[in-house]
Amino acid sequence: MISAPTHAHLRRSLLYVPGSEERKVAKAASLGADAVILDLEDSVAETRKGEARILITAALRSRTASGPEWLVRVNAIHTPHFDADLACAVESAPDALVIPKVDGPDVLRQVDARLAAAERAAGRPVGSLKLFAMIESARAILNAPAIAGASPRLTGLILGHVDLSLDLGLTPGPAGAGIIHHARCQLVLAARAAGVDAVDAVVLNIQDHDGCRAEATQAAAMGFVGKQAIHPGQIPIIHQAFTPSADRVRRAERILETWRQAQTEGRGVVALDGELIELPVVAMEQRILDRARRAG
Ligand code: COA
Ligand code: MG
């Protein structure tokens, strides 16, 4: 199953780039990720937040229209960095902000209000910056449906399974089983019910390409639109998992052709290779073709 697009962007891979690392920031646009997350939060040392804001502002100024979608992850609203991060974001105008530690809808509503004030102060149109909310605690998982409906700016929910594991008293591990997998299911349902994108967990081991492939394939089959990446080597693996294969595209074309033929013969349902084709099946097959076309 492949999810419906809710906007023009493919969001198969969202690559984190530590905002304080000039070399990585400079390379970010050329690595092929669908989206880049310029990070001000956990990958930037407390003492280097200011430096990271300057680098991020410069990077966003020099971006081109044909590049990836640009996201900035700010520090959480309860930290002393939040106001300066917000000012940096409004000034540098990325496509969206990633808000960490969104434990409940109230957090997102407060972020929305503070952002609107910052947009007004900067003379920018209010509401122009979209938001992704990071779901990374037990409370956040239980509140996910309310969070997903808390702001019209919201465009996606992102699973932060490492912080979630910490909150649950676990040790870091893969996301494909156990309670983390349960959380993934909850997140997809909450996101889809609100019509926003669901983005899957990171794979911390950058050498474990098989693990990354397995988890990304599972995520695509669950309705996630994409997966977070921390290393360039993970991007092609993730893209493959979230892009319909040539075989799958041929099958979709065959199903649609069979359906069109049945329609011309005045039939509403038809079977192909023993499987029923009905309207929702047709819609899903069309979505697969659309996704393949958008992935080129
Ligand atoms: N963004 C941009 N470029 C990256 C990158 C990233 N996330 N990760 C690696 N690269 C670049 C490196 O700079 C290096 O380029 P170079 O050879 O031109 O210097 C090349 O890709 C190969 O990198 P490699 O040596 O394999 O990795 P590393 O040891 O330098 O870094 C990590 C490993 C995990 C520290 C690094 O991938 C990273 O910083 N990831 C992002 C972590 C993050 O932001 N986490 C927060 C959310 S969980
Ligand atoms: Mg986190």
DSSP per-residue string spanning 139-157: HHHHHHHHHHTS-TTEEEE
What pLDDT score was predicted for residue 100?
Answer: 98
Spatial distance between the Cα atoms of 86 and 82, rounded to a whole number of angstroms = 6
CB of 207 closer than 6 A to ligand 1? no
**Over pLDDT 70: what percentage of the chain?**
98
Spatial distance between the Cα atoms of 195 and 156, rounded to a whole number of angstroms = 9
CB of 88 closer than 6 A to ligand 1? no
Distance 248 CA to ligand 2 centre (A): 35
Direct distance between the N- and C-terminal alpha carbons of the chain, in angstroms, rounded to an integer = 19
Q: Read off the pLDDT band of 7 (50, 70, 90).
A: low
Fold classified for 13-242: TIM Barrel (3.20.20)
CB of 202 closer than 6 A to ligand 1? yes
Residue the block writes with tokens 């520090």? 75
Residue of 44, 74, 230 best suited for mutating to test ligand 1, as the one with most atoms within 8 Å of CB: 230
Which amino acid type is present at position 89? Answer: A
Yes or no: say if 81 and 49 are a contact pair by the CB < 8 Å rule. Answer: yes
**Within 10 Å of residue 268's Cβ, how many Cβ atoms?**
10
Spatial distance between the Cα atoms of 156 and 200, rounded to a whole number of angstroms = 11
pLDDT at residue 4 is higher than 90: no
Dump pLDDT digits (tens) for 179-189: 999 999 999 99
Report the pLDDT averaged over residues 135-160: 98
* Ion ligand 2, residue ranges at CB < 5 A: 136, 160, 163
Tokens at 234, concatenated: 């993970």
Report the pLDDT averaged over residues 198-219: 98
Q: Show me where the domains of the chain are located.
A: 13-242, 246-294
Report the pLDDT averaged over residues 276-285: 96
Chain centroid offset of residue 41 CA:
17
Tokens at 122, concatenated: 């900067």
Report the pLDDT averaged over residues 195-213: 97
Report the pLDDT averaged over residues 181-200: 98
- What is each CA distance from 296 to 3, 10, 69, in whole angstroms? 17, 11, 17
Nearest atom (ligand 1) to Cα of 21:
39
Average per-residue pLDDT in the chain?
A: 95
For residue 75, give the 3-state DSSP assignment. Answer: coil
Distance 296 CA to ligand 1 centre (A): 27
Distance 164 CA to ligand 1 centre (A): 23
What pLDDT score was predicted for residue 117?
Answer: 95
What pLDDT score was predicted for residue 3?
Answer: 45
pLDDT at residue 272 is higher than 80: yes
Q: On the CB side of 239, how many CA atoms lie within 13 Å of its CA?
A: 16
Q: Whose CA is nearest to atom 5 of ligand 1?
A: 231
What pLDDT score was predicted for residue 5?
Answer: 44
Q: Whose CA is nearest to atom 46 of ligand 1?
A: 43
Dump pLDDT digits (tens) for 208-218: 999 999 999 99
pLDDT at residue 1 is higher than 60: no
- What is each CA distance from 293 to 184, 236, 243, 296, in whole angstroms? 27, 17, 10, 5
What pLDDT score was predicted for residue 6?
Answer: 47
Q: Which helix (H) or strand (E) holds 203?
A: none
Nearest atom (ligand 1) to Cα of 162:
48
Residue the block writes with tokens 């997350």? 37
- What is each CA distance from 113 to 21, 23, 81, 107, 148, in whole angstroms? 31, 34, 17, 10, 16
Dump pLDDT digits (tens) for 62-111: 999 889 999 999 999 999 999 999 999 999 999 999 999 999 999 999 99
Of 142, 152, 71, 74, nearest in space to 109 by CA: 152
